[in-house]
Amino acid sequence: MTVKLRSGQRPGDLRGIELARRLADDGVVAALAIHPRHASQRHKGAPDYALARRLVDELPVPVLISGGLDTAARAQAAFESTGAAGVLMARGSLGNPWVFEELLGVRDCEPSADEILDELDWVIERAIEHLGAERATRYLRKFYPWYVDRLGREYTDTLGGGKALQASLQTAPGLEDVRGLFRGAAVPA
């Protein structure tokens, strides 16, 4: 079993670290993943990679690192500074599957707008398969900001600007409308 945990609930709370030590020492886990920010930080603030490094050095099981890893460079730096057995790209990979190619050294450039839009089309099709079109239309609204950000200002300015595009995407009645907004076939309201 592998367990992922945070350092604790609030600043100075290290109960998550204590639990990690206990689980590893008791042989309950094969590996541990640590997100070295306390829970009240949510996904904000700097992760305490020095704390993660101490766990890597003292635990008898592999330690994986998570938290604050939203680019290949940050993931590589956290990996190197902590000595972790690996990294977990959670939120940092959302809307950016190309980060894995960067980490593996097979990509050294940003994806093109066409690549981003093709990826979004693939995500939309998978959501329809799993949820049906109506549910997918609502569910995917949380995905659009990742793709708008990835497309960048140069692209979104041609569609009326990022904020206008986001607003139109959040109220689009269907997924074909969403595709049209992203591809510029419809004018944001």
Interval 40-56: pLDDT, tens? 777 777 888 998 999 99
**Final residue of a structural domain among 54, 85, 103:** 103
The amino acid at residue 49 is Y
The amino acid at residue 44 is K
Looking at the structure, tell me whether residues 93 and 131 fall in a common domain. no
Looking at the structure, tell me whether residues 97 and 121 fall in a common domain. no
The amino acid at residue 174 is G
Containing structural domain, residue 157: 113-183
Q: What percent of the chain has pLDDT over 90?
A: 57
Give the pLDDT confidence of 97-112 residue by residue, as tens digits.
Answer: 999 999 999 999 989 9
Looking at the structure, tell me whether residues 53 and 76 fall in a common domain. yes
Mean pLDDT, the chain, whole residue set? 89
Looking at the structure, tell me whether residues 82 and 117 fall in a common domain. no
**Final residue of a structural domain among 82, 103, 124:** 103
- Residues 15-32 have a mean pLDDT of 90
Band of residue 187 on the pLDDT scale cut at 50, 70, 90: very low
Looking at the structure, tell me whether residues 126 and 179 fall in a common domain. yes
Give the total number of structural domains in the chain: 2
Query: Which residue would you say has higher pLDDT here, 148 or 45?
Result: 148
**Final residue of a structural domain among 78, 103, 128:** 103
- Residues 8-33 have a mean pLDDT of 88
- Residues 105-120 have a mean pLDDT of 93
